[in-house]
Amino acid sequence: MTVRTFAPAKINLTLHVTGQRDDGYHLLDSLVVFADIGDHLEFAAGPGMSIDVTGEHAEGVPADDRNLIWQAAQAVGWTGSVRLNKVLPHGAGIGGGSSDAAATLRVLSEQGVDIPDELPLLLGADVPVCVAAKAARMQGIGERITPVRVPSLPAVLINPGVPVPTGSVFAALASRANPAMPVDMPEFETPQDCAMWLGDLRNDLETPAIGVAPEIARVLDALGATTNALLARMSGSGSSCFALYPTMKAAHFAAYEIGAAHPHWWCRAVALN
Protein backbone atom coordinates (compact mmCIF):
# COMPACT_ATOMS: atom_id res chain seq x y z
CA MET A 1 0.00 0.00 0.00
CA THR A 2 1.28 3.44 -0.94
CA VAL A 3 0.80 6.32 1.51
CA ARG A 4 1.06 9.89 0.25
CA THR A 5 1.77 13.07 2.18
CA PHE A 6 2.67 16.73 1.72
CA ALA A 7 5.69 18.57 3.15
CA PRO A 8 4.97 22.31 3.05
CA ALA A 9 7.53 25.09 2.82
CA LYS A 10 8.41 26.60 6.21
CA ILE A 11 8.69 30.39 6.34
CA ASN A 12 10.28 32.35 9.18
CA LEU A 13 8.30 35.59 9.38
CA THR A 14 10.75 36.59 12.11
CA LEU A 15 14.02 35.08 13.30
CA HIS A 16 15.61 36.63 16.38
CA VAL A 17 18.93 35.16 17.53
CA THR A 18 18.82 35.62 21.31
CA GLY A 19 21.90 33.77 22.55
CA GLN A 20 24.30 30.88 22.16
CA ARG A 21 24.74 27.89 24.45
CA ASP A 22 28.09 26.56 25.60
CA ASP A 23 27.70 23.63 23.19
CA GLY A 24 27.51 26.06 20.26
CA TYR A 25 23.77 25.82 19.54
CA HIS A 26 22.11 29.18 18.91
CA LEU A 27 18.98 30.23 20.79
CA LEU A 28 16.20 31.49 18.55
CA ASP A 29 12.83 33.18 18.81
CA SER A 30 10.91 32.86 15.54
CA LEU A 31 7.38 33.17 14.21
CA VAL A 32 6.98 30.32 11.72
CA VAL A 33 4.22 29.74 9.17
CA PHE A 34 3.73 27.25 6.35
CA ALA A 35 2.94 27.68 2.68
CA ASP A 36 0.45 25.87 0.47
CA ILE A 37 3.35 24.80 -1.73
CA GLY A 38 5.78 22.02 -0.86
CA ASP A 39 7.26 18.64 -1.62
CA HIS A 40 5.18 15.50 -2.20
CA LEU A 41 6.17 12.12 -0.78
CA GLU A 42 4.96 8.55 -1.30
CA PHE A 43 5.84 5.69 1.07
CA ALA A 44 5.58 1.94 0.51
CA ALA A 45 6.89 -0.44 3.18
CA GLY A 46 9.37 -3.08 2.03
CA PRO A 47 12.45 -5.08 3.01
CA GLY A 48 15.02 -2.45 2.01
CA MET A 49 15.39 1.31 2.06
CA SER A 50 15.41 3.43 -1.10
CA ILE A 51 14.60 6.99 -2.12
CA ASP A 52 13.69 8.02 -5.66
CA VAL A 53 13.94 11.78 -6.13
CA THR A 54 12.14 13.49 -9.03
CA GLY A 55 10.83 16.97 -9.71
CA GLU A 56 11.99 20.47 -10.53
CA HIS A 57 14.67 20.56 -7.83
CA ALA A 58 15.73 16.90 -7.75
CA GLU A 59 19.30 17.64 -8.82
CA GLY A 60 21.70 17.53 -5.89
CA VAL A 61 19.27 15.93 -3.42
CA PRO A 62 20.93 12.85 -1.86
CA ALA A 63 19.06 9.56 -2.25
CA ASP A 64 20.97 7.74 0.48
CA ASP A 65 21.52 7.98 4.24
CA ARG A 66 22.52 11.65 3.92
CA ASN A 67 18.86 12.46 3.27
CA LEU A 68 16.83 13.38 6.37
CA ILE A 69 13.96 11.20 5.14
CA TRP A 70 16.27 8.19 5.26
CA GLN A 71 17.61 9.21 8.69
CA ALA A 72 14.09 9.66 10.11
CA ALA A 73 12.96 6.25 8.81
CA GLN A 74 16.15 4.53 9.94
CA ALA A 75 15.83 6.00 13.45
CA VAL A 76 12.50 4.23 14.01
CA GLY A 77 13.39 1.02 12.19
CA TRP A 78 11.16 1.51 9.13
CA THR A 79 12.25 0.33 5.70
CA GLY A 80 10.66 0.70 2.30
CA SER A 81 10.65 2.82 -0.82
CA VAL A 82 10.10 6.57 -0.81
CA ARG A 83 9.27 8.68 -3.86
CA LEU A 84 10.10 12.33 -3.32
CA ASN A 85 8.78 14.93 -5.76
CA LYS A 86 11.12 17.82 -4.95
CA VAL A 87 9.14 21.00 -5.59
CA LEU A 88 11.04 23.24 -3.17
CA PRO A 89 14.59 24.46 -3.72
CA HIS A 90 16.87 22.72 -1.24
CA GLY A 91 19.21 24.53 1.12
CA ALA A 92 17.03 27.60 0.62
CA GLY A 93 15.97 28.64 4.12
CA ILE A 94 12.41 27.34 3.71
CA GLY A 95 12.83 24.04 5.52
CA GLY A 96 12.63 21.67 2.56
CA GLY A 97 14.68 18.85 4.06
CA SER A 98 13.34 19.42 7.58
CA SER A 99 9.76 19.42 6.32
CA ASP A 100 10.41 16.19 4.38
CA ALA A 101 11.76 14.57 7.56
CA ALA A 102 8.80 15.83 9.58
CA ALA A 103 6.36 14.50 6.98
CA THR A 104 8.09 11.14 7.23
CA LEU A 105 7.62 11.08 11.00
CA ARG A 106 3.94 12.06 10.65
CA VAL A 107 3.24 9.30 8.13
CA LEU A 108 5.02 6.63 10.15
CA SER A 109 3.25 7.72 13.34
CA GLU A 110 -0.11 7.43 11.55
CA GLN A 111 0.93 3.90 10.51
CA GLY A 112 1.44 2.96 14.16
CA VAL A 113 5.22 3.40 14.37
CA ASP A 114 6.36 4.72 17.76
CA ILE A 115 8.19 8.05 17.37
CA PRO A 116 10.44 8.98 20.33
CA ASP A 117 9.70 12.48 21.62
CA GLU A 118 13.32 13.54 21.27
CA LEU A 119 13.75 12.34 17.67
CA PRO A 120 12.51 15.42 15.74
CA LEU A 121 15.03 17.73 17.42
CA LEU A 122 17.82 15.21 16.92
CA LEU A 123 17.13 15.36 13.17
CA GLY A 124 17.36 19.16 13.08
CA ALA A 125 16.29 22.39 14.78
CA ASP A 126 13.47 23.01 12.28
CA VAL A 127 12.02 19.50 12.36
CA PRO A 128 9.89 19.86 15.55
CA VAL A 129 7.98 22.89 14.23
CA CYS A 130 7.58 21.18 10.85
CA VAL A 131 5.96 18.10 12.44
CA ALA A 132 2.82 20.08 13.27
CA ALA A 133 3.18 22.19 10.08
CA LYS A 134 1.00 24.94 11.54
CA ALA A 135 1.74 28.52 12.55
CA ALA A 136 3.83 28.53 15.71
CA ARG A 137 6.35 30.42 17.78
CA MET A 138 9.61 28.48 17.89
CA GLN A 139 12.04 29.17 20.74
CA GLY A 140 15.18 27.77 22.32
CA ILE A 141 17.13 25.58 19.93
CA GLY A 142 13.88 24.57 18.24
CA GLU A 143 12.38 22.50 21.04
CA ARG A 144 9.84 25.02 22.40
CA ILE A 145 6.85 25.16 20.06
CA THR A 146 3.80 27.31 20.89
CA PRO A 147 0.88 27.29 18.42
CA VAL A 148 -0.29 30.74 17.34
CA ARG A 149 -3.13 32.09 15.22
CA VAL A 150 -2.46 34.15 12.13
CA PRO A 151 -4.78 34.99 9.25
CA SER A 152 -4.10 33.50 5.84
CA LEU A 153 -1.27 35.64 4.49
CA PRO A 154 -1.02 36.16 0.71
CA ALA A 155 2.67 36.11 -0.19
CA VAL A 156 5.29 35.72 -2.88
CA LEU A 157 8.27 33.41 -2.32
CA ILE A 158 11.49 33.89 -4.26
CA ASN A 159 14.68 31.90 -4.34
CA PRO A 160 17.39 33.31 -6.61
CA GLY A 161 19.23 29.99 -6.89
CA VAL A 162 22.20 31.21 -4.86
CA PRO A 163 23.48 28.75 -2.24
CA VAL A 164 23.98 30.21 1.25
CA PRO A 165 25.80 27.92 3.73
CA THR A 166 24.12 28.30 7.12
CA GLY A 167 27.43 28.05 8.95
CA SER A 168 28.86 30.98 7.01
CA VAL A 169 25.82 33.12 7.85
CA PHE A 170 26.01 32.42 11.58
CA ALA A 171 29.76 33.01 11.51
CA ALA A 172 29.16 36.48 10.06
CA LEU A 173 26.51 37.37 12.67
CA ALA A 174 27.63 40.51 14.53
CA SER A 175 25.72 39.77 17.75
CA ARG A 176 24.41 36.51 19.19
CA ALA A 177 22.54 38.11 22.08
CA ASN A 178 19.74 40.14 20.52
CA PRO A 179 16.30 41.08 21.93
CA ALA A 180 13.59 38.43 21.74
CA MET A 181 10.16 38.93 20.23
CA PRO A 182 7.50 40.53 22.47
CA VAL A 183 6.25 38.10 25.12
CA ASP A 184 2.62 38.47 24.08
CA MET A 185 1.53 38.25 20.46
CA PRO A 186 -1.60 40.08 19.29
CA GLU A 187 -4.40 38.39 17.39
CA PHE A 188 -4.30 39.66 13.82
CA GLU A 189 -7.49 40.34 11.90
CA THR A 190 -5.94 41.03 8.49
CA PRO A 191 -2.67 40.56 6.59
CA GLN A 192 -2.14 44.31 6.95
CA ASP A 193 -2.33 44.04 10.76
CA CYS A 194 0.18 41.20 10.75
CA ALA A 195 2.58 42.95 8.39
CA MET A 196 2.49 46.15 10.45
CA TRP A 197 3.39 44.22 13.63
CA LEU A 198 6.12 42.27 11.85
CA GLY A 199 7.64 45.51 10.59
CA ASP A 200 9.03 46.22 14.07
CA LEU A 201 10.66 42.78 14.26
CA ARG A 202 13.60 41.20 12.42
CA ASN A 203 15.45 38.36 10.83
CA ASP A 204 18.84 38.73 12.51
CA LEU A 205 20.44 36.55 9.83
CA GLU A 206 19.38 38.79 6.94
CA THR A 207 22.33 41.21 7.07
CA PRO A 208 25.04 38.55 7.41
CA ALA A 209 23.38 36.47 4.67
CA ILE A 210 23.46 39.45 2.31
CA GLY A 211 27.17 39.74 3.05
CA VAL A 212 27.60 36.12 1.96
CA ALA A 213 25.20 36.36 -1.01
CA PRO A 214 24.52 39.94 -2.23
CA GLU A 215 21.85 38.63 -4.60
CA ILE A 216 19.54 38.45 -1.56
CA ALA A 217 19.50 42.26 -1.40
CA ARG A 218 18.41 42.39 -5.04
CA VAL A 219 15.58 39.96 -4.31
CA LEU A 220 14.41 42.05 -1.35
CA ASP A 221 14.55 45.23 -3.43
CA ALA A 222 12.51 43.58 -6.19
CA LEU A 223 9.89 42.35 -3.73
CA GLY A 224 9.69 45.68 -1.95
CA ALA A 225 9.13 47.49 -5.25
CA THR A 226 6.10 45.40 -6.24
CA THR A 227 2.63 46.90 -6.15
CA ASN A 228 0.90 46.61 -2.75
CA ALA A 229 3.83 44.89 -0.99
CA LEU A 230 3.29 45.15 2.78
CA LEU A 231 6.61 43.69 3.97
CA ALA A 232 9.66 42.04 2.38
CA ARG A 233 12.07 39.87 4.38
CA MET A 234 14.41 36.90 4.12
CA SER A 235 13.34 33.52 5.52
CA GLY A 236 15.60 31.40 7.72
CA SER A 237 19.27 31.71 6.88
CA GLY A 238 18.50 32.43 3.20
CA SER A 239 18.56 32.70 0.35
CA SER A 240 14.76 32.54 -0.04
CA CYS A 241 12.80 35.73 0.62
CA PHE A 242 9.12 36.57 0.89
CA ALA A 243 6.79 39.54 0.65
CA LEU A 244 3.29 39.84 2.12
CA TYR A 245 0.30 41.32 0.27
CA PRO A 246 -3.27 42.31 1.18
CA THR A 247 -4.86 39.84 -1.27
CA MET A 248 -3.97 36.77 -3.32
CA LYS A 249 -4.73 38.78 -6.45
CA ALA A 250 -2.01 41.25 -5.47
CA ALA A 251 0.40 38.39 -4.72
CA HIS A 252 -0.22 36.74 -8.10
CA PHE A 253 0.27 40.05 -9.88
CA ALA A 254 3.56 40.63 -8.02
CA ALA A 255 4.76 37.12 -8.87
CA TYR A 256 3.98 37.82 -12.53
CA GLU A 257 5.88 41.12 -12.40
CA ILE A 258 8.97 39.59 -10.85
CA GLY A 259 8.83 36.43 -12.93
CA ALA A 260 8.83 38.49 -16.11
CA ALA A 261 11.76 40.63 -14.95
CA HIS A 262 13.80 37.77 -13.43
CA PRO A 263 12.91 34.53 -15.22
CA HIS A 264 15.88 32.70 -13.66
CA TRP A 265 14.51 33.17 -10.12
CA TRP A 266 12.16 30.58 -8.56
CA CYS A 267 9.06 32.70 -7.86
CA ARG A 268 5.67 31.55 -6.54
CA ALA A 269 2.52 33.22 -5.19
CA VAL A 270 1.39 31.32 -2.07
CA ALA A 271 -0.87 31.51 0.97
CA LEU A 272 0.85 31.28 4.37
CA ASN A 273 -0.87 29.88 7.46
CA distances from 139 to 149, 157, 186 (A): 16, 24, 18
CA gap 259, 264 in Å, rounded: 8
What is the CA 203 to chain-centroid distance, rounded? 13
Residue 148, class by beta-carbon neighbours within 10 Å (0-12 exposed, 13-18 middle, 19+ buried)?
Answer: middle
CA gap 252, 256 in Å, rounded: 6
Q: Is 10 an active-site residue? A: yes
CA gap 213, 236 in Å, rounded: 14
* Cα dihedral sign, 70-35-122-14: positive
Q: Which of 52, 126, 200, 204 is catalytic?
A: 126
Taking only Cα atoms into account, the Rg of the chain, rounded to an integer number of angstroms, comes to 18
Q: 151 with 13: CB under 8 angstroms? A: no
Q: Which of 10, 29, 39, 204 is catalytic?
A: 10
Residues classed as catalytic: 10, 126
